[in-house]
């Protein structure tokens, strides 16, 4: 009697989440950044991955890497209504320079603004709640339809980020941190090598740039994110710590 074994090819998206995460980490976490991004964008999550970018101090590096692989990759930009004018102009400049064809500016719903922050001053009394409706909620809506998102987070930025993996599972989505192991020197070298323009506020001492109301200059000897929510027990907006479930922003 002869036995036949039917081989069934399993598409990556159909694998159990834990098994797929293990496979992604094993295959890509230690390889060169461009190769990792190429695999994530073109093979593993083709048509189901977005970049989330603040167009802040170091954003040009990740956006340039992605644009060289596929400039049609969706880029989600959170326009909170509290950003520096320099950030909005920098966004437009990079979009044009890098040829990004699917830049999506998202923000809080007008009804949420009216109900939660009619005076626009919530940041001064409850920054967590402000981040929540201006960032977490809009981004959660925008991420519907995507299985993974690419961030520009690095381990050197804060103690909370020091132990993060290059590929993680947060909630029901995969979070890809291709620059996790990059150093400030790596970023500076890449910017110079590829003639990328810095955010105009960097030369004025703003090394991590978010909303105007919650961003200040960084002093000598401070880490890059010390200018965010200065004087408060807050180092993260919240999206990166709760996976969109009930958090307080990016």
Among all residues, which ones are annotated catalytic?
237
Q: 49 and 149 in contact (C-beta within 8 Å)?
A: yes
The pair of three-digit structure tokens given for residue 132, joined into one six-digit string: 């929540």
Contacts of 156 (CB under 8 A, 6+ apart): 162, 182, 183, 184, 224
Concatenate the DSSP letters of all residues of 76-100 into one string. Answer: EEE--S-B-HHHHHHHHHHHHHHT-
Residue 143 contacts by C-beta under 8 Å, 6 or more apart in sequence?
Answer: 50, 76, 149, 173, 244
Q: What is the dihedral of CA 160, 165, 170, 175, to 10 degrees?
A: 110
Report the alpha-carbon distance of residue 44 to residue 52 in Å, rounded. 18
**What is the end-to-end Cα distance of the chain in Å, rounded?**
62
SS3 161: helix
């Amino acid at each position: 009697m002869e036995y036949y074994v039917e081989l069934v090819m399993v598409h990556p998206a159909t694998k159990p989440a834990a098994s797929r995460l293990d496979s992604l980490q094993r295959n890509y976490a230690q390889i060169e950044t461009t190769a990792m991004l190429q695999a994530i964008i073109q093979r593993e999550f083709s048509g189901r991955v977005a970049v989330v970018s603040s167009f802040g101090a170091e954003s040009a590096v990740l956006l340039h890497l992605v644009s060289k692989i596929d400039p049609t990759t969706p880029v989600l930009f959170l326009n909170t209504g509290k950003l520096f004018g320099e950030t909005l102009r920098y966004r437009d400049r990079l979009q044009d320079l890098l040829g990004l064809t699917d830049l999506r500016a998202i923000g809080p719903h007008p009804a949420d603004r009216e109900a939660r922050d009619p005076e626009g001053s919530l940041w001064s009394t409850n920054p967590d709640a402000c981040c929540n409706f201006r960032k977490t909620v809009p981004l959660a809506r925008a991420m519907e339809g995507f299985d993974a998102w690419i961030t520009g987070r690095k381990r050197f930025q804060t103690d909370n980020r020091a132990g993060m993996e290059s590929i993680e599972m947060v909630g029901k989505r995969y979070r890809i941190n291709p620059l996790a192991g990059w150093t400030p020197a790596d970023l500076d070298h890449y910017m110079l090598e590829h003639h990328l323009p810095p955010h105009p506020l960097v030369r004025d001492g703003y090394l991590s740039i978010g909303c105007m109301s919650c961003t200040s200059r960084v002093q000598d000897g401070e880490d890059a994110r010390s200018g965010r929510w200065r004087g408060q027990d807050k180092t993260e907006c919240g999206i990166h710590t709760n996976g969109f479930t009930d958090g307080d922003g990016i």
